[in-house]
């Protein structure tokens, strides 16, 4: 019976002191008693002792777990734009992009190489954290009788009924279970499968660590905005979904016209963050929602829309999950046959891409992994896409979990790691909108040009179409224009 009680408590994220297990085993309904106690105790409690149970009189209410709010701010204001784009040639360096470098064959050894690379790079970033100085291997940590620090990749992460997290982590040699409290420093964003994190804690009975703190690679607090010399701007759009019946052509045309005005003449770069077209066969019965049911004609329409924009505006396009390219990330640039539908001078890059625009590093990622983050991290919602972006930055990874809704290709190296830190981080995909900042990195989610779909209506998702985030590449000032 004691063994059953110990494992039942463990499932709930609490370790039972053996004395308490003996005490419960002698009661008439040991399991029911344990369940009642688990309901009543503080969910932060990791080890439950007989003293604590005897002190439960009267039984206190179970405290609620409150999700941490992300430290982002959003402000929207118009700006008076002055200098002219035609005075400057575009200056672009593609710093990271899978296009032309894919090595993935999908074999088993690809996967182990891929995750080894992820562990190596992220554990290097973690070792630089003050909190993890003196980190040891899991094997060694379990044999120590004091506070330990380890670095591991999360094999599984389970939320227990008390709100604590039960993890299985592994490093290059061993694995162990880790119990993480629901609140406190260790609860700063839920652990998700396949992320690499540091644990500060103490061993419990040879094979379990009790976490006192989770340490993530994160972004240094002082990451400064490295601005351009010229007062040029970059504007970001996403999720045009051309070809859909719900494509908002009027709004797009207002935007296109505005780009030609004096007010917009400092905008040198227009970055399209994926889902350029609605595509075909992306979801069941999509043909009912299409105004154009030929994917090539959809791209021809976008090509014509881009041709109508000012000639000196540098357009950069990356694909999203609706585009005509492999869905597994990292996605290469749109294929040549499709690029021909666009005017000369458009730059096609992969998803994600790290670009240097006039000296400013811009990380562009369509944002498909947001579909996984919203289900796994209570603080992340579709309404507030920047919350998901902050969680990516904390983990220094654009799509931490493998095997969810985000298909990932096991390339030789993990291209979704955020190794070099950008000054601007742009996403789309959720059809929301947001501008803000996290530790000096400008964050933006680039809205959509598609009205509310039946799927979104069913799931209570309200898109925020026609919002264009704009970043002043010299000062880092971020604002938005509505159309
Ligand atoms: Fe989209
Ligand atoms: Fe998308």
| Cα distance between residue 192 and residue 356, in whole Å | 31
Domains present along the chain, CATH in parentheses: 2-54 (no CATH), 85-104+221-482 (3.60.21.50), 130-215 (2.40.50.140)
CA of residue 2 to ligand 2 center, whole Å: 50
**Strands, E, within 181-245: which ranges?**
196-204, 208-215, 233-237
Given a contact cutoff of 8 angstroms between Cβ atoms, the answer to whether 441 and 422 are in contact is yes
Distance 280 CA to ligand 2 centre (A): 13
Could you say which ligand is closest to the alpha carbon of residue 320? 2
Q: What token pair was written down for 228?
A: 């351009």
Distance 431 CA to ligand 2 centre (A): 8
CA 352 to centroid of ligand 2, rounded, Å: 13
Rounded to the nearest angstrom, the distance between the alpha carbon of 240 and the centre of ligand 2 is: 10
Give 185 Cα–ligand 2 centroid separation in angstroms.
Answer: 33
pLDDT attached to residue 198: 97
* Helices and strands of the chain, counted as H and E runs: 12, 19
CA 133 / ligand 1 centre spacing (Å): 42
CA 445 / ligand 2 centre spacing (Å): 12
| For the CA of 246, the nearest ligand | 1
Q: What is the pTM of this model?
A: 0.84
Q: Which residues contact 272 (CB under 8 A, 6 or more apart)?
A: 237, 238, 240, 315, 316, 317, 318
Sheet holding 360-364, edge to edge: 92-97, 353-357, 360-364, 424-427, 441-446, 433-438
Q: What's the Cα-to-Cα distance from 471 to each of 27, 74, 192, 340, 348, rounded to whole Å?
A: 66, 13, 31, 29, 21
Give the Å distance between the CA of 412 and the centre of ligand 2. Answer: 25
pLDDT tens track of the chain, all 483 residues?
777 677 667 666 677 777 777 777 766 556 667 766 766 666 556 777 777 776 664 332 322 222 223 333 333 334 444 589 999 999 999 999 999 888 877 677 788 899 999 999 999 999 999 999 999 999 999 999 899 999 999 999 998 888 889 999 999 999 999 999 877 655 667 899 999 999 999 998 778 999 999 999 999 987 788 899 999 999 999 999 999 999 999 999 999 999 999 999 999 999 999 999 999 999 888 999 999 999 999 999 999 999 999 999 999 999 999 999 999 999 999 999 999 999 999 999 999 999 999 999 999 999 999 999 999 998 899 999 999 999 999 999 999 999 899 999 999 899 999 999 999 999 999 999 999 999 999 999 999 999 999 888 988 889 999 999 999 999 999 999 999
Q: Please, which residues have CB less than 5 A from ligand 1, an ion?
A: 239, 275
The residues pairing with 116 across neighbouring beta strands, listed in sequence order, are none
Place of tokens 């959720």: 430
- Beta bridge pairs of residue 467: 482
For residue 148, the cross-strand partners are 201
Q: What is the rounded distance in angstroms from the CA atom of residue 404 to the CA atom of residue 305?
A: 35
CA–CA distance, 413 with 121 (Å, rounded to integer): 10
First to last CA, the chain: 66
Residue 130 near residue 147 (C-beta atoms within 8 A): no
Cβ–Cβ < 8 Å for 330, 415: yes
CA 418 to CA 95: how far, in whole Å? Answer: 12
Q: What is the pLDDT of residues 124-146, one digit of tens each?
A: 999 999 999 999 999 999 999 89
pLDDT score of 342: 98
Displacement of CA 353 from its chain's centroid (Å): 15
Give the Å distances, CA to CA, from 58 to 9, 39, 54.
21, 13, 10
For the CA of 371, the nearest ligand: 2
Helix (H) or strand (E) holding 272: strand 267-273
Cα 444 to middle of ligand 1, angstroms? 15
Q: Which ligand is nearest to the CA of 406?
A: 2
Q: What DSSP assignment string belongs to 404-456?
A: SSS-B---SS-TTB--SPPSEEEE-SSS-EEEEEETTEEEEEE--SB---HHH
Q: Which ligand is nearest to the CA of 351?
A: 2
For residue 315, the CA-to-ligand 2 centroid distance in Å is 19
Q: Ligand 1 centroid to 207 CA: how many Å?
A: 45
Residue by residue, DSSP assigns 116-155 as: HHHHHHHHHHHHTSGGGTT---HHHHHT-SS-EEEEEEEE
């Amino acid at each position: 019976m004691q063994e059953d009680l110990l494992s039942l408590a463990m499932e709930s994220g609490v370790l039972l002191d053996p004395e308490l297990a003996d005490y419960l085993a002698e009661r008439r309904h040991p399991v029911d008693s344990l369940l009642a106690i688990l309901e009543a105790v503080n969910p932060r409690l990791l080890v439950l002792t007989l003293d604590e149970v005897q002190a439960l009189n009267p039984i206190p209410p179970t405290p609620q777990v409150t999700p941490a709010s992300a430290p982002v701010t959003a402000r929207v204001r118009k700006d008076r734009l002055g200098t002219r784009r035609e005075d400057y040639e575009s200056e672009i360096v593609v710093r990271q992009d899978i296009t032309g470098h894919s090595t993935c064959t999908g074999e088993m050894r690809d996967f182990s190489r891929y995750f080894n690379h992820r562990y190596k790079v992220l554990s290097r970033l973690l070792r630089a954290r003050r909190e993890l100085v003196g980190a040891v291997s899991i094997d060694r940590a379990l044999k120590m009788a004091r506070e330990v620090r380890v670095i591991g990749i999360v094999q599984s992460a389970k939320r227990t009924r008390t709100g604590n997290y039960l993890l299985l982590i592994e490093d290059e040699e061993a694995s162990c279970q880790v119990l993480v409290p629901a609140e406190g420093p260790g609860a700063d964003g839920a652990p998700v499968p396949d992320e690499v994190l540091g644990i500060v804690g103490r061993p419990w009975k040879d094979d379990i660590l009790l976490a006192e703190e989770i340490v993530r690679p994160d972004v240094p607090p002082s990451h400064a905005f490295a601005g351009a010399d010229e007062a040029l701007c970059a504007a970001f759009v996403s999720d045009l979904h051309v070809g859909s019946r719900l494509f908002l052509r009027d709004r797009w045309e207002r935007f296109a016209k505005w780009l030609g005005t004096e007010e917009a003449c400092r905008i040198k770069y227009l970055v399209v963050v994926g889902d350029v077209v609605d595509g075909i066969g992306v979801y069941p019965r999509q043909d009912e929602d299409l105004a154009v049911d030929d994917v090539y004609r959809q791209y021809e329409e976008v090509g014509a829309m881009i041709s109508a924009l000012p000639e000196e505006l540098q357009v950069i396009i990356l694909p999203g999950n609706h585009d005509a390219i492999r869905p597994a990330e990292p996605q290469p640039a749109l294929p040549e046959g499709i690029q021909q539908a666009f005017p000369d001078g458009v730059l096609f890059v992969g998803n994600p891409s790290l670009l240097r625009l006039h000296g400013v590093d811009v990380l562009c990622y369509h944002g498909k992994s947001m579909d996984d983050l919203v289900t796994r991290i209570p603080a992340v919602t579709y309404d507030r896409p920047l919350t998901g972006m902050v969680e990516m930055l904390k983990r220094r990874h654009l799509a931490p979990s493998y095997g969810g809704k985000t298909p990932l290709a096991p390339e030789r190296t993990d291209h979704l790691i955020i190794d070099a830190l950008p000054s601007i981080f742009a996403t789309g995909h959720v059809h929301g909108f947001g501008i803000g900042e996290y530790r000096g990195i400008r964050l933006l989610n680039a809205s959509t040009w598609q009205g509310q779909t039946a799927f979104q209506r069913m799931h209570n998702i309200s898109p925020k179409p026609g919002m264009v985030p704009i970043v002043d590449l010299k000062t880092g000032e971020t604002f938005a224009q509505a159309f």
